[in-house]
Amino acid sequence: MAQALVERRLAACVNLVPQVRSIYRWQGQLCDQAEWLLVIKTQRRLLAQLHQTLKQIHSYEVPELVAVSIGQGSRDYLAWLHAALSGK
C-alpha cells in the first residue's frame, strides 16, 4: 500500500509503524487488533484522490484517514515534499 501511494505520487513518503494495537467498536462488536500505522506525507490538494485510492487498495471496508496540517516545517523539507509529489 505504501509503495503504491509513493509510486502514484499521492505520497512523498510513508512511514510504516508496526505492531500498533487498536481497540475499537465495529458493527456492534468490540475489536482488539494488531495493525500497522501509516504516516502518509502528502499535500491537501491530493487528499481526495488519496482517499479514493485507499478505499480501492485497502482491505478494510472503512480505512482510517485522518489529515493533520503542517503548521511549520523546514523550507528544504517542504520543497522536497512539493517536488516529490509534483514529479519535478
Total domains in the fold of the chain: 1
Q: Is the CB of residue 36 less than 8 Å from the CB of residue 16? A: yes
Q: Residues 13-68: pLDDT tens digits? A: 999 999 999 999 999 999 999 999 999 999 999 999 999 999 999 999 999 999 99
List all residues 6 or more positions away from 20 whose beta carbon is below 8 Å from its beta carbon. Answer: 34, 35, 36, 37
pLDDT band for 87, please (50, 70, 90 cuts): confident
Residue 88 confidence (pLDDT) above 90: no
Question: Can you give the CATH number for the domain in which 58 is found?
Answer: 3.30.70.120
pTM: 0.89
CA 49 from centroid of its chain's CA atoms:
12
pLDDT of residue 20: 97
Domain span at 49: 2-86
